[in-house]
């Protein structure tokens, strides 16, 4: 089809519908800053809509004036009126509008970056190429380690303590709030407060290498009771494999040296280089937001890791017989 034909008749309306759908898709869904589900995100969305409407009004006013001056009143104004127009429209108006916006956005910043209130949940998140280490700090008991998924209780402030040992990443859950960089050698902070239960998606928002676009995670915001139960479950050691295939998978996990990089608490696997896997079967995704957690996807992940996530540090285990890969996948899926 010739390019010009794209906008003809039925095709044209289809393209317009597609563009409309794309634009609207940006305003909803699990990864949208314009569908806020957190206190900071609501303020950011309000600022966005305020600026969008304000900018549209100013654009129409300026364009209207330009059209008026071009077509309807071609006579030059007197020097006094011209001077007033330039000083009023070119100096006073932008200073007032931009000054107001700056003051408002700076006031938001102090609110968003305020120290964590008493009783805030504290979670350390460390960004790696290309996954997330997550550690829940608890008032009582040992910290709880996991990876690539975060659960939060609705209505409770949470302080994220952000770090990176390799390159700069940026921690961003658009539906809950703004983004903050994870900078090697420093600890940065982000205060969020989810206001709506649901499943949201977070991303790395700073280019960090080949698989930057494949560095995501899911955030599950739930009622406090469910959250407490979830955290208590995550603190437990891994369940014993159920069934012959899963048991064989567990043995293969040890025999193939997976435990050198991954930890599965309650087993001989104590690795700290890669993501913690104790309850990985309970997580929504494999490979940091890349694939859904089910044994077929796990099989592909184990056998074709580098195809799915280019330059990933995990070696590809495609040399294993398919039945071994299947057993490993069944074992991992069973780690609920």
The token pair at 72 is 């309807």
What angle, 0 to 180 degrees and rounded to 10, lies between the N-to-C axes of helices 39-67 and 93-112?
170
Which residues, 254 to 273, sit near ligand CUA by CB under 6 A?
none
Query: How many residues does this entry show for the chain?
Result: 336
- CA of 184: how far to CAs of 11, 115, 289, 311, in Å? 50, 22, 23, 20
Per the CB < 8 A criterion, the answer to whether 254 and 328 are in contact is no
Least distance to ligand CUA from the beta carbon of 213, Å? 8
Given the rule CB under 6 A, which of 25-33, 80-88, 144-152, 206-214 is the region that contacts ligand CUA? 206-214
CA distances from 181 to 15, 151, 170, 290 (A): 37, 21, 4, 21
Which residue, 126 or 267, has its beta carbon nearer to ligand CUA?
126
At 87, which helix (H) or strand (E)? helix 79-87
Q: Which of residues 307-336 bind ligand CUA (CB under 6 A)?
A: none
Q: Which is nearer to ligand CUA, 265 or 313 (CB)?
A: 313
Give the residue carrying structure tokens 């495609």: 318
Q: Which stretch binds ligand CUA (CB under 6 A): 147-155, 185-193, 207-215, 286-294?
A: 207-215
Select from 74-82, 208-216, 233-241, 295-303 the region that touches ligand CUA (CB under 6 A): 208-216
CA-nearest of 335, 274, 329 to 301 is 329
Applying the rule CB under 6 A, the residues between 156 and 175 that interact with ligand CUA are 169
249 makes contact with ligand CUA (CB under 6 A): no
Give residue for tokens 């104790």: 278
The C-alpha atoms of residue 173 and residue 191 are separated, in whole angstroms, by 12
Q: Is residue 206 within the footprint of ligand CUA (CB under 6 A)?
A: yes
Interactions with ligand CUA, residue window 112-141 (CB under 6 A) = 127, 130
Q: Is 48 in the site for ligand CUA (CB under 6 A)?
A: no
In the complex, minimum distance from the CB of residue 230 to ligand CUA, in angstroms, rounded to a whole number: 26
Confirm or reject binding of residue 204 to ligand CUA (CB under 6 A). Answer: yes
Minimum distance, C-beta of residue 150 to ligand CUA, in the bound complex (Å): 16
Least CB distance from residue 216 to ligand CUA, whole Å? 10
DSSP for 256-325 reads TTGGGT-B-TTSS-B--SS---TTGGGSSEETTTTEESSHHHHHHHHHSHHHHSTT-SSPP-TTS-HHHH
Residue 275 binds ligand CUA, judged by CB under 6 A = no
Q: Is residue 179 at the binding interface for ligand CUA, with CB under 6 A as the rule?
A: no
CB of 217 to ligand CUA, least distance (A): 11
Closest contact distance (angstroms) between CB of 207 and ligand CUA is 6
What's the rounded Cα separation, in Å, for the pair 48 and 285? 31
CB 48, min distance to ligand CUA, A: 23
Residue 163, both tokens: 């770090």
Q: Which of 208, 286, 302, 332 binds ligand CUA (CB under 6 A)?
A: 208
- Interface ranges with ligand CUA (CB under 6 A): 127, 130, 169, 204, 206-208, 212, 215
């Amino acid at each position: 089809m010739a390019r010009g034909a794209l906008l003809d008749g039925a095709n044209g309306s289809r393209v317009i519908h597609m563009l409309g759908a794309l634009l609207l898709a940006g305003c909803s869904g699990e990864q949208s800053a314009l569908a806020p589900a957190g206190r900071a995100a609501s303020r950011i969305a309000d600022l966005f809509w305020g600026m969008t409407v304000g900018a549209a009004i100013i654009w129409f006013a300026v364009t209207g004036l330009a059209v008026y001056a071009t077509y309807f009143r071609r006579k030059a104004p007197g020097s006094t009126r011209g001077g007033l127009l330039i000083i009023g429209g070119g100096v006073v108006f932008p200073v007032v509008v931009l000054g107001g916006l700056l003051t408002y956005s700076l006031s938001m910043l102090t609110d968003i970056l305020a120290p964590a209130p008493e009783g805030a949940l504290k979670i350390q998140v460390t960004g790696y190429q290309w996954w997330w280490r997550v550690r829940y700090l608890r008032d009582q008991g040992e910290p709880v380690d996991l990876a690539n998924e975060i659960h939060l209780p609705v209505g409770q402030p949470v302080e994220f303590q952000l770090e990176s040992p390799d390159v700069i990443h940026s921690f961003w859950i658009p539906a809950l709030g703004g983004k903050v960089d994870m900078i090697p050698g420093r600890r940065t902070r982000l205060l969020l407060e989810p206001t709506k239960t649901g499943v949201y998606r977070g991303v790395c928002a700073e280019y960090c290498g080949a698989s930057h676009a494949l560095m995501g995670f899911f955030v599950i915001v739930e009622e406090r009771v469910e959250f407490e139960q979830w955290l208590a479950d995550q603190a437990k050691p891994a369940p014993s494999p159920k069934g012959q295939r899963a048991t064989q998978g567990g043995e293969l996990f040890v025999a193939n040296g997976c435990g050198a990089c991954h930890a599965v608490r309650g087993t001989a696997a104590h690795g700290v280089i890669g993501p913690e896997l104790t309850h990985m079967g309970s997580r929504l995704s494999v490979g940091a937001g890349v694939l859904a957690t089910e044994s077929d996807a796990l099989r592909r992940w184990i056998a074709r890791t580098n195809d799915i996530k280019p330059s990933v540090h995990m070696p590809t285990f495609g040399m294993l017989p398919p039945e071994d890969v299947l057993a490993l996948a069944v074992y991992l899926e069973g780690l609920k």
